[in-house]
Structure formats: structure tokens, C-alpha cells
Structure 1
Amino acid sequence: MGDNKLIDSSRLKDHAYWEKVQQKSCSQSFSFLFDRYWETLYSTAFSYLKDREKSEEITHDIFLNLWQKRETLTIQSFSAYLRAAARYHVYKELKKRKASNIVYTDELTETEEVMTNQGEDRLIYQDAERYVDSSLQSLPARCQEIYFMSRKENLTNDEIANKLGISKRTVENQLTAALRHIRIQLKVISMLLLWWLIL
């Protein structure tokens, strides 16, 4: 009984914060939800992919999309929605890899139907993605180059290392730096968007 009360209280708190995000574009509420669920989303993605950089990338994408679609999303359970979003992105990644040796669980395949509306706001999402890409210009040129080769050209770390004549470890370190930078940008993007709306 006590555990159920705690769960209900947590859901109510999430719902209250999400209402502020939807109705007032409240950046503080968004930051609270970001901090609360970042590790959960990352862990969900990593449990399937076993790829740190890709798992961080998926987590970034989910929060960007969540902010951009805040006015149109109807979410009954915030934690359940985010888990479904993580599984959906994982499912897409596994399909892209065409990894025949990976067993897709019912949980993943069912998620594909739940999250079919992910592509509806592609133009809005691309605007946010361009903002993040623009912010990457403050990073060293090599770091930018490696990030875009990974993100835009879908090259593996080994392929990037071979193409640039550097070690795989260097590629991993540069991608980590880029993803850390993006994570910081996600913390401030909601505030920037709020100011743009006011102006």
C-alpha cells in the first residue's frame, strides 16, 4: 500500500511539472524532468545497444523531440511514455543495423505502434536539430568533423578512425566531448526557446 502511494505521488508530481511545460513553456520544470529521467532513458537504451555514444544520442533526441512537441503531446504516464520513446528509438536503431543475431522482444515491437507519431513534427524537430548543430561550431574543428561523420554519415567509430588516420580511442573521446556539449545545450535550449516566444 505504501509503495503504491509513493508511485501515485511521483506520477502526480511528473504530471504537474509536465503541465507547466505544456501550458507555460516552463524551462525549470523541463529541467527537473530532464534531470529526473536522463539516467533512466540512457540505461534503457544502453541495455539493448551496449553502445554508450549511441545511447546518449538517443536520449538527447528524445528530450529535444519532447520539448518541441510539448503543446500537442497527451501523456498519461510520463515515465511510461519516456520508456516507450526510448524503446522505439532503440528498435529503429536495431532495424538500421539489420542485426539478425539480435532477438527483438515483444516490448520493442509493440512500441513501434505506440510511437508512430514520432515523425509527424519532422520539420519542428529539424529546426531544433539545426540549433544543436549550430551550437557545435564552438567545438574544435576535429571534434565537429568526427561528430558529423558519426551523426550524418552514420559511420562507425572504426570507420571514422580509418578515414581520418587516428585511433579509435581518439574518436570515442571526441564523440564524448560533443555529446557532453549537446547535453549542456539541452539544459539551456528550453530557456532560449521561452525567450524567443516572449520576444
Structure 2
Amino acid sequence: MLKSPLSDDELWNAIRCDNELAFTALFDRYWVRLYKAAHRYLKDHEAAEEVVHDVFLNIWNRRHQLEIESFPNFLLTATRYQVYNRMRSAKSPIVLTASDVELNELLDHNIGEDHIKDQELQQELDQYLDQLPKRCQEIFYMSRINHLSNQEIAGKLGISKRTVENQITVALKHLRTCFKHMSTIIILGFIIR
């Protein structure tokens, strides 16, 4: 039986020696304070309780590794961390259902195979662009690869904005003709829009 009231340090030393009574005493001492802190942010009774229980469960599980100098500070920091994690995960929950099997199959792919396909596609694109006049190629690359505006391209090359627009139109028309199969056009959608 523990004498009352023990200091936080005394309780912590007993907890580190696997004393469950000391753990219960520390839990009882700080539970309400941590619950109020969690509830203030989460505005949810059950979530706040879960946060406090998670904090104490982590302390018990890591009692042999943790070095705690100030229990109030440590507990409040741990509680804020748990609250932050809950709030962050609540902002963008990812819910997968049985109907998402197709999505999982799409995500399960071979990265090396994708890299080879990307290289082949880039070679094909370069091949088709080589068929264009040099000035047209240059304007296309400045627009779609370097992401310069038509005005910026016109200024750099000393030509009119209208000439830039015409050259881009010529390049896109040529690429649309060359890439007749739909899957390639979808992949290149960001380039030939």
C-alpha cells in the first residue's frame, strides 16, 4: 500500500519499477486536468477520454525508456500531441470500402515498369517534336516544359505574342495527330491541352 500523498517523482520511480498502484495514483491525479485540456480542443467527450487514455497507455508501455523531469509539462505536451494527431487525421480521412478494390489494384503497380513506359513515351514525344521546325520546337518547350507565359516567350525571343500562340497551336495540332491513341493523349493531357 502506498503512503499518501507521494510526489510525482516518487510515483514515477515506482511506476518504472512496474508498480501499478503508483500508476493508478498518477492517473487519478492528472486525469481530469488532461481531459479538460483535450476536450477544450476536440469538443468531444469520447475523443477527449480516448486521448487521455492513449497518453497514459503510452506512458505505461514506455515506462522503462521515458525520462520525465516535470510530469505536468510532459503530460500536457503529450496530450496536445495526441489532440493534434486526431485533428490532423480528421481533416483528411481516408476511407476505403470493398468497392475500392479496383483502386487498390491500380495502386499496386510496378514502378520500374512505369519508369520504362515514361521513358518510351518521352522518346516518342521527342521524336514527334523533332519533326517540327526548330523555332516551333523551342516555343513549345518554353511553354509546356519551362512553363513560361506566351508574353514571356515573346519577350525572350523578340517576336509577337500572336506568333507564339500560332506556333504553339501548330505544335499541339501536330502532336494530336501523331498521338492518335487515346491513352497517350490522356497521359499527355497536361502537355497538349
* Higher RCO (C-alpha 8 Å, min separation 6): 1
Q: Which has the higher helix share?
A: 1
The normalised TM-score by structure 2 is 0.44
The normalised TM-score by structure 1 is 0.43
Give the structure with higher Rg (CA): 2
